[in-house]
Chains A and B, each alone.
Chain A
Amino acid sequence: MSIIINGSPASLPDDPRVSLLDLLREHLHLFGAKKGCDQGACGACTVLVDGERVLSCLTLAVQLEGRSVTTIEGLATAHGLHPLQKAFVEHDGFQCGYCTPGQICSAVGMADEVRRCVPSHATADLTADTISLSHDELRERMSGNLCRCGAYNGIVVAIARTFEEAQP
Chain B
Amino acid sequence: MMSFTYARAHDALEAFRLGSAPGAKYLGGGTNLVDLMRETIEQPSTLVDVTGLSSEIEERADGSLLIGAAARNTALASHRAVRTRYPVLARAITAGASAQIRNMATVGGNMLQRTRCSYFYDDAARCNKRSPGQGCDAAEGFNRNHAILGASSSCFATHPSDMCVALAALDAVVHVRGTNGERTLPFAELHRLPDDRPDLDTRLAPGELITAVELPALKDGARSTYRKVRDRASYAFALVSVAAALELDGDRVKEVRIALGGVAHKPWRAAKAEQALRGQPATAENFRAAAAAELADAHPLRDNAFKVELARRTIAAVLDELKEMKA
Contact = CB atoms under 8 A, between A and B. Distances in A.
B35 A16 contact: no
Interface string A99-130: 00000001001100100111111010011000
A69 to B, nearest CB: 13
Interface stretch (B17-25, B88-96, B239-247): B88-96
A43 B98 contact: yes
Contact of A58 (B4, B94, B104): B104
A40 interface: yes
Contacts of B30: 58-60, 63
Residue among A52, A59, A123, A144 with max Cβ neighbours from chain B (10 Å): A144
What is the interface residue range for chain A against chain B? 35 or more
B99 A39 contact: no
A53 B100 contact: yes
B74 interface: yes
Interface string B184-220: 0000000000000000000000000000000000000
Interface string B60-102: 0000000000000010011000011001001100110111110
Nearest to B226: A121
Given A58-B34, A118-B74, A126 B98 contact: no
Contact of B84 (A59, A116, A126, A139): A126
Given A17-B1, A127-B84, A118 B100 contact: no
A151 B30 CA distance: 30
Contacts of B235: 143-144
Nearest to B47: A16
B101 A40 contact: yes
Contacts of B35: 39-40, 58
A37 B97 CA distance: 15
A120 B99 contact: yes
Given A126-B83, A126-B87, A53 B47 contact: no
Contacts of B78: 116-119
Contact of A143 (B3, B47, B98): B98
Contacts of A165: none
A155 B186 CA distance: 45
Contacts of A65: 8
A118 B83 CA distance: 10
B180 interface: no
Interface in A38-54: 38-40, 43, 46, 52-54
Given A16-B47, A140-B234, A143-B235, A54 B100 contact: yes
Contacts of A126: 83-84, 87, 90-91
A3 interface: no
Contact of A55 (B31, B47, B87, B234): B31
Nearest to A128: B83
B77 A118 contact: yes
Contact of B99 (A19, A110, A116): A110
B128 interface: no
B100 A16 contact: no
A55 B103 CA distance: 9
Interface string B37-70: 0100000000101010000000000000000000
Interface of A: 15-17, 19, 38-40, 43, 46, 52-55, 58-60, 62-63, 65, 106, 109-110, 113, 116-121, 123, 126-127, 139-141, 143-145
Given A59-B34, A106-B99, 4 more contacts: A52-B103, A63-B27, A65-B8, A127-B84
4 closest A-B pairs by CB: A144-B98, A143-B234, A16-B6, A126-B83
20 contacts: A39-B38, A40-B101, A43-B98, A55-B31, A59-B34, A60-B6, A60-B30, A62-B6, A109-B99, A110-B99, A113-B99, A116-B78, A118-B99, A120-B99, A121-B91, A126-B90, A126-B91, A141-B99, A144-B97, A144-B100
